[in-house]
Structure 1
Amino acid sequence: MGLDEALLDALYHIDQHRHLFTDRELVALRYAEIVTTSARDVDENLWDELQSHFDDGEIVELTTVIGIFNFFNRFADALRLDEA
Structure 2
Amino acid sequence: MAHLRPLENHEVDQELREMFTHYENTRGFCPNSVKTMARRPNISKTFGKLNQVILYEGTVPEELKMLVALASSLASGCHYCQSHMTNLSSIYKASDEKIAAIWEFETSDLFSAAERAAIKVGLKAGTLPNDVTSEDFDELKQHFDEGQIVEIVATIALFGYLNRWNDTMATQLEAVPAQVTERAVGHTSWEVGKHD
**1-side partners of 2:124 and 2:103: how far apart?**
15
**2-side partners of 1:43 and 1:77: how far apart?**
27
1:13 aligns with 2:104: yes
CA offset at residue 13 of structure 1? 3.4
TM-score, structure 2 normalization: 0.39
Aligned to 1:4: 95
Q: 1:27 to 1:75 in 2, by over 3 A?
A: same
CA offset at residue 30 of structure 1? 0.5
Greater share of helix? 1
Picking from 51, 54, 70, the partner of 2:160 is 70
Aligned to 1:33: 123
Structure 2 runs not aligned, ≥5 long:
1-90, 173-194
Q: 1:11 to 1:48 in 2, by over 3 A?
A: same
Q: Please, what is the CA RMSD of the aligned residues? A: 1.7
Between the two proteins, the alignment pairs up a number of residues equal to: 82
Aligned to 1:49: 139
Structure 1 runs not aligned, ≥5 long:
none
1:19-71 deviations in Å (ceiling 9; x for gaps): 110000001110001111133x3222111111111100000000001111121
Taking CA–CA contacts closer than 8 Å with sequence separation of 6 or more, which of the two structures ends up with the larger relative contact order?
A: 2
TM-score, structure 1 normalization: 0.84
**2-side partners of 1:6 and 1:23: how far apart?**
18
